């Protein structure tokens, strides 16, 4: 089963929490704070794997969560960093953030890509000791790891794409010029998945050709199979447009050429402007009148024409040599540039400063901020220094400013995950 699109959820590991600890040793009074820092959470790293050809594995496993960093310990022991989670994808996979559509990575090279970064470990209470605050009874929690829902889209890495109506001989052509062995039969939609073949010209000279199946009129709008595979033509540097010049299917080859090009343009304007070579297949079955008519059509369009018969290999060597010569003039295979994130995350406040404040019917201000729940677990509300730290977090994150904008008054009640306190200016 050929699967070239999948949606998965990834989450990097949270950082480990800092420890609250005090040195205890016989004959040593007031040893002071010695809580260690937490370890870093694991990253989510994507790598290209040539042994994979589809995204079928991501139909059955859709969640990839890295481990959390180890918490800090006593005696200034730093928690262990969590291992990174490596996700293998087929070469040519484009990773996009599902919510915004931005490109996060193009897995076309061997370079591993960090898609989600693990959270840093929180600081232990030893870090907060000062001459005036010698007994800090609080620590910092680990920062949250990045979390995304991502779309994986496989775009085949091929130099040349064969396009054309079903049953014009694309599969036969790729089978005679490369080692690819696609299914070949005399009926429409024999080829149900894209087929890659390496065409060898000479020692050290070769290129990759892809047979793109199922293109018919309306393919760009979802008709037939073509809409599923148009994305695979997107990277091709050169298009070989195959037509049945004999009209054995009862179609006009000139009209076929126009229809397919309209579908390419509807899918992508850039794709419509890609260099093309026209291959008039089944010329051994065509009469001279049909050939003359199509030669005039190609001349009017200003497109280079090769008359071939894939079944008998007539003219295929000349076509392949011309394709290779043309490829040497063209830029390398297109790679997608990584786009900057739309939401800027603040590492100082864990997983960004996103929060929501609503006022209930009971006049209580309810604060919703997922990252804040993690911080509250390490705050001792009975300790003055710890309480000061909590107030600083609320002010730096903009929560206090937002409450003031909403008209909060002194003595009004604020509720944060069930913890209620009276607001004081």
Tens of pLDDT along 224-254? 444 566 666 778 889 999 999 988 878 899 9
Confidence of residue 321 (pLDDT cuts 50, 70, 90): very high
Predicted confidence (pLDDT) at residue 354 exceeds the cutoff of 60? yes
Overall pTM > 0.85: no
70-79, 210-219, 380-389: the lowest-pLDDT one: 210-219
CATH no. of 352-422? 3.30.300.350
Output the pLDDT for position 215.
Answer: 66
User: What percentage of residues in the chain have a pLDDT greater than 90?
Assistant: 36
Is-contact 21 77, C-beta < 8 A?
Answer: no
110 C-beta neighbours (distance < 10 Å), count: 9
In 3-state terms the chain splits into helix, strand, coil percentages (rounded to 5) of 25, 25, 50
Predicted confidence (pLDDT) at residue 163 exceeds the cutoff of 60? yes
From 276, 288, 289, 282, select the one nearest 314 (Cα to Cα): 282
Output the pLDDT for position 189.
Answer: 52
User: What percentage of residues in the chain have a pLDDT greater than 70?
Assistant: 87
Q: Chain-wide mean pLDDT for the chain?
A: 84
Taking only the tens place, the pLDDT of each residue in 260-315 is: 888 888 877 887 788 999 999 999 898 899 999 999 999 999 999 999 999 899 99
From 164, 178, 163, 207, select the one nearest 327 (Cα to Cα): 207
> Buried b vs exposed e over 122-134: b needs ≥16 C-beta within 10 Å?
bbbbbbbeeeeee
CATH superfamily, region 1-154: GTP1/OBG domain (2.70.210.12)
Domain boundaries, the chain: 1-154, 160-327, 352-422
Is-contact 367 415, C-beta < 8 A?
Answer: yes
From 319, 396, 419, 386, select the one nearest 350 (Cα to Cα): 396
Output the pLDDT for position 342.
Answer: 56
Predicted confidence (pLDDT) at residue 351 exceeds the cutoff of 80? no
Rounded to 10 degrees, the C-alpha dihedral 120/121/123/125 comes to 170
Instruction: State how far the alpha carbon of 199 is from the alpha carbons of 59, 179, 191, 419, in Å.
Output: 32, 8, 19, 68
Output the pLDDT for position 182.
Answer: 63
Output the pLDDT for position 347.
Answer: 44
From 301, 224, 228, 210, select the one nearest 267 (Cα to Cα): 228
From 119, 154, 180, 142, select the one nearest 48 (Cα to Cα): 154
Predicted confidence (pLDDT) at residue 222 exceeds the cutoff of 60? no
Q: Which CATH class is domain 160-327?
A: alpha beta
Over residues 324-344, the mean pLDDT reads 79
Taking only the tens place, the pLDDT of each residue in 106-159 is: 998 999 999 999 999 989 989 888 887 788 887 888 888 999 999 998 887 788
Q: Which positions ≥6 away from 365 have C-beta within 8 Å?
A: 357, 358, 359, 403, 406, 408, 412, 413, 414, 415, 423
Comparing 347 with 189, the larger pLDDT belongs to: 189
The Cα–Cα gap between 216 and 219 comes to: 5
Taking only the tens place, the pLDDT of each residue in 398-419 is: 899 889 999 888 889 998 888 8
Output the pLDDT for position 291.
Answer: 92
């Amino acid at each position: 089963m050929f699967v070239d699109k999948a949606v998965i959820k990834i989450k990097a590991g949270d950082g480990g929490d800092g420890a609250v600890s005090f040195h205890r040793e016989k004959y040593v009074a007031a040893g002071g704070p010695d809580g260690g820092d937490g370890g870093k959470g694991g990253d989510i790293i994507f790598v290209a794997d040539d042994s994979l050809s589809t995204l079928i594995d991501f139909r059955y496993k859709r969640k990839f969560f890295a481990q959390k960093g180890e918490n800090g310990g006593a005696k200034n022991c730093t928690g262990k960093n969590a291992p990174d989670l490596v996700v293998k994808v087929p070469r040519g996979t484009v990773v996009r953030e599902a919510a915004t559509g931005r490109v996060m990575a193009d897995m076309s090279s061997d370079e591993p890509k960090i898609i989600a970064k693990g959270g840093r470990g929180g600081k232990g209470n030893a870090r907060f000791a000062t001459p005036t605050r010698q007994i800090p009874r609080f620590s910092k929690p680990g920062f949250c790891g990045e979390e995304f829902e991502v779309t994986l889209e496989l775009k085949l890495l091929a130099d040349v794409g064969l396009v054309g109506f079903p049953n014009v001989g694309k599969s036969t052509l790729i089978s005679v010029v490369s080692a690819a062995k696609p299914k070949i039969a005399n009926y429409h939609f024999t080829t149900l998945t894209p087929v890659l073949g390496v065409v060898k010209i000479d020692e050290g000279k070769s290129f990759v050709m892809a047979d793109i199946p199922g293109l018919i009129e309306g393919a760009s709008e979802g008709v037939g199979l073509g809409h599923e595979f148009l994305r695979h033509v997107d990277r091709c540097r050169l298009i070989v447009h195959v037509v049945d010049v004999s009209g054995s299917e009862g179609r006009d080859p000139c009209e076929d050429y126009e229809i397919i090009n309209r579908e390419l343009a509807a899918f992508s304007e850039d794709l419509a402007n890609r260099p093309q070579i026209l291959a008039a297949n089944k010329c051994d079955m065509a009469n001279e009148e049909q050939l003359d008519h199509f030669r005039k059509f190609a001349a009017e369009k200003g497109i280079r024409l090769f008359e071939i018969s894939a079944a008998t290999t007539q003219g295929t060597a000349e076509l392949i040599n011309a394709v290779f010569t043309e490829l040497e003039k063209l830029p390398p295979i297109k790679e997608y540039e990584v786009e900057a994130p739309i939401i800027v995350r603040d590492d100082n406040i864990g997983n960004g400063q996103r929060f929501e404040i609503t006022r209930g019917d009971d006049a209580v201000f309810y604060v919703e901020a997922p990252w804040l729940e993690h911080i509250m677990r390490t705050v001792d509300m009975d300790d003055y220094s710890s309480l000061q730290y909590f107030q600083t977090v609320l002010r730096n994150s903009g929560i206090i400013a937002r409450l003031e904008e909403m008209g909060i008054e002194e003595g009004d009640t604020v509720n944060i995950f069930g913890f209620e306190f009276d607001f004081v200016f």
